[in-house]
Structure 1
Amino acid sequence: MNYFEIFGLEQTFNIDLGQLSKHYLELQKSVHPDKFANGSEAEQRFAMQKAAQINDAFERLKSPIKRAEHLIELAGIELVDESKTIRDTAFLMQQMLWQEEIEDINSNHDEDSLYELQDTIAEQQAQMIKDVERLLANQSYLDAQAILPKLKFMAKLSEQLRTLEDDLID
């Protein structure tokens, strides 16, 4: 299923998230269960299925990582198992250094270092997203796919840092 078609969007990584949200709201209104309250059971079921499909499509397209995965799948390339994908030893070493830095930040309650690390991670994520966008535009799907596990790690690390920030501020 092509989620871009559901929203009438061009099949590209760089999409207008405002337009995506607008189309999402319009589509959800069109299949809202209240519109089918007096309809047949089959019509109600269809509306529910369509609403679920729209929700799934919206969730996939609003996330840069999931959007990239969808584009790769649409190109006919099967996504690889994440546990076997990061072979970049420099990145693996960097992961360990970041985890040590997080431990130090946590034990020392060092908010300044936390904010610096958050900025560093955000910058690297932004660069990786640009790289994925460029690779997908050039139809270098396998190269783009190789970056996605790193991006997923970075997203988890960002969430870990947000949680740590909440803990330090409280």
Structure 2
Amino acid sequence: MNNPFALFDLPVAFQVDSALLNERYLALQKSLHPDNFSAASAQEQRLAIQKSAEINDALRILKDPITRADSIIAINTGETENPEEKSNNDIDFLMQQMEWRETLENIENRKDTDELTAFAQEINQIRHAILSELSTALDAQHWDIARAITDKLRFIKKLQAEIERVEETLLDF
């Protein structure tokens, strides 16, 4: 398994120094720029392109809190999970999901932009609270709890995308 933290010479931690990450990303990409390999063999050019793609993937992983958490869990446990293949057993959270979806559907039917804005703010606050829970679970090395929390974040991310879709629909009127 590739370790995106090692690629950027960063500690394996949920909190990432964004400025340092961006600085190291630019330095790595600059070193792999095609101009640097214009006189190199075809194989060296392919390796540079491959390494550049690896760096882009690592950056994507580290910038997204969900994939960053998944990576931390995998690095520490040696186990990777496919979130699409497992089910969420948190009945309370499943009920909450249904309530949120119903709320969003009602807002969309009423075409109430003020209520949509308030709902979006509420979900964003919940997202921040869940991110804090995730950070705590990862720091305490409670991997199963952290996995469950990343599942919640995946749902919140989808819900926020759905909120944006409704917002675009309402603004088109």
Same fold, judged at TM 0.5 (above): yes
Superposed, 1:124-139 pairs within 5 Å as 124-139=126-141
State TM-score, norm by structure 2. 0.93
Of 87-96 and 71-80, the range deviating more from structure 2: 71-80
Q: Which amino acid aligns with 2:101?
A: Q
Tell me how far apart the structure 2 counterparts of residues 150 and 62 of structure 1 sit (CA, whole Å).
18
Quote the offset at 1:92 in angstroms: 0.9
What secondary structure, in the 3-state scheme, does the structure 2 residue paired with 1:39 have?
Answer: coil
Report if aligned partners of 2:83, 2:151 keep a CA contact under 8 Å in 1. no
Tell me how far apart the structure 2 counterparts of residues 83 and 127 of structure 1 sit (CA, whole Å).
26
Label 1:99 to 1:71 Cα distance change in 2 as closer, same or farther (>3 A).
Answer: same
State TM-score, norm by structure 1. 0.95
Q: Which amino acid aligns with 1:57?
A: A
Tell me how far apart the structure 1 counterparts of residues 14 and 39 of structure 2 sit (CA, whole Å).
40
Tell me how far apart the structure 1 counterparts of residues 103 and 140 of structure 2 sit (CA, whole Å).
36
Aligned-CA RMSD value: 1.3
What secondary structure, in the 3-state scheme, does the structure 2 residue paired with 1:52 have?
Answer: helix
Quote the offset at 1:14 in angstroms: 0.6
Q: Which amino acid aligns with 1:130?
A: S
Label 1:144 to 1:33 Cα distance change in 2 as closer, same or farther (>3 A).
Answer: same
- Structure 2: 5+ residue runs without aligned partners? none
Report if aligned partners of 1:85, 1:149 keep a CA contact under 8 Å in 2. no
* Residue 150 (structure 1) aligned with residue 152 (structure 2): yes
1:36 equivalent in structure 2: 37
* Residue 107 (structure 1) aligned with residue 109 (structure 2): yes
- Structure 1: 5+ residue runs without aligned partners? none
Quote the offset at 1:38 in angstroms: 2.1
Tell me how far apart the structure 2 counterparts of residues 74 and 134 of structure 1 sit (CA, whole Å).
17
Structure 1 residue runs of 4 or more that deviate by more than 4 Å after TM superposition: none
Tell me how far apart the structure 1 counterparts of residues 72 and 111 of structure 2 sit (CA, whole Å).
41
Residues 8-30 of structure 1, C-alpha deviations (whole Å, 9 max, x = no match): 11110111112111211111111
Q: Percent identity?
A: 39
Superposed, 1:116-131 pairs within 5 Å as 116-131=118-133
1:47 equivalent in structure 2: 48
What secondary structure, in the 3-state scheme, does the structure 1 residue paired with 2:11 have?
Answer: coil
Quote the offset at 1:151 in angstroms: 0.5
Quote the offset at 1:34 in angstroms: 2.3
Tell me how far apart the structure 2 counterparts of residues 56 and 125 of structure 1 sit (CA, whole Å).
24
Quote the offset at 1:81 in angstroms: 4.0
Quote the offset at 1:43 in angstroms: 1.0
What secondary structure, in the 3-state scheme, does the structure 2 residue paired with 1:43 have?
Answer: helix
2:13 equivalent in structure 1: 12
Q: Which amino acid aligns with 1:32?
A: H
